[in-house]
A and B are shown apart, each in its own frame.
Chain A
Amino acid sequence: DVKVTQSSRYLVKRTGEKVFLECVQDMDHENMFWYRQDPGLGLRLIYFSYDVKMKEKGDIPEGYSVSREKKERFSLILESASTNQTSMYLCASSGAGATYNEQFFGPGTRLTVL
């Protein structure tokens, strides 16, 4: 069974803290994605990576950075968390070769910044 796992289901942090969200996939997928999900706005892409050490900005990269040192792991970093980054964060992965390949999603991390 294919799997995308995220390190935490719920996370509470204080303003100004550095926050790491971890995502691991076991499908040997080349592509990995970080989305932010907010009510009424759907999912918005923060960053994606199509290979180890490669990354591209999505629609809303401001305030975030990412790291992909190994193929199976993709980390989202909030250098200095702010209250407007309170949200649900979803990680996804997909195989290479076609843009229409299915994306497989993790269960999400609900981050609250106080």
Chain B
Amino acid sequence: AQSVTQLDSQVPVFEEAPVELRCNYSSSVSVYLFWYVQYPNQGLQLLLKYLSGSTLVKGINGFEAEFNKSQTSFHLRKPSVHISDTAEYFCAVIGRAGNMLTFGGGTRLMVKP
């Protein structure tokens, strides 16, 4: 079984500032890792995923995430945020032989002008 911890429930940040949303996971097996975003009044959509290979993964809208196996982390970053990035962000994990995604509790990113 896997578990996912998103360390911050809310992250306020000013427009054009950098941001990091933290995600740690626990698993006894190798995993695939994901970040999903939920804009207000919408369903979730995939930002990026880590399957294998390079530990730095680039996604849509200028986001990137780095997989750190020793620290079991998959933090999401953006060098300069926009008002339109205001949303809830979910980290998720699935075992490589598994069939169910496990989600973290979510981080609400609030970008202020």
- List chain A positions with a Cβ less than 8 A from chain B: 4, 35, 40-45, 48, 50, 56, 58-59, 90, 92, 99-100, 102-108
CB pair B32–A43 under 8 Å, yes or no, is no
Q: Which of A43, A100, A104 contacts B51 (CB 8 A)?
A: A100
Q: A42-B105, A99-B96, A99-B99 are in contact. Are A105 and B51 (CB under 8 A)?
A: no
Across-interface contacts of B46 in A (CB, < 8 A): 102-103
CA distance A43 to B94 in the complex (A): 14
CB pair A48–B100 under 8 Å, yes or no, is yes
CA distance A40 to B10 in the complex (A): 10
Across-interface contacts of B97 in A (CB, < 8 A): 99
CB pair B9–A105 under 8 Å, yes or no, is no
**Size band of the interface chain B makes with A:** 20 to 34
Say how far B78's CB is from chain A's closest CB, in angstroms: 20
CA distance A56 to B51 in the complex (A): 25
CA distance A44 to B6 in the complex (A): 15
Q: Does B68 belong to the interface (CB within 8 Å)?
A: no
CB pair A44–B103 under 8 Å, yes or no, is yes
- Taking CB as reference atom, which chain B residue is nearest A41? B105
CA distance A1 to B85 in the complex (A): 22
- Taking CB as reference atom, which chain A residue is nearest B42? A107
Q: 3 closest Cβ contacts across the A-B interface?
A: A105-B43, A42-B103, A43-B103
Across-interface contacts of B4 in A (CB, < 8 A): 42
CB pair B100–A42 under 8 Å, yes or no, is no
Q: Does B90 belong to the interface (CB within 8 Å)?
A: yes
Q: A99-B32, A99-B98, A100-B94 are in contact. Are A42 and B43 (CB under 8 A)?
A: no
CA distance A102 to B36 in the complex (A): 10
CA distance A58 to B49 in the complex (A): 22
CA distance A106 to B42 in the complex (A): 8
Across-interface contacts of A58 in B (CB, < 8 A): 100
CA distance A4 to B49 in the complex (A): 21
Across-interface contacts of A41 in B (CB, < 8 A): 105
Across-interface contacts of B103 in A (CB, < 8 A): 35, 42-44
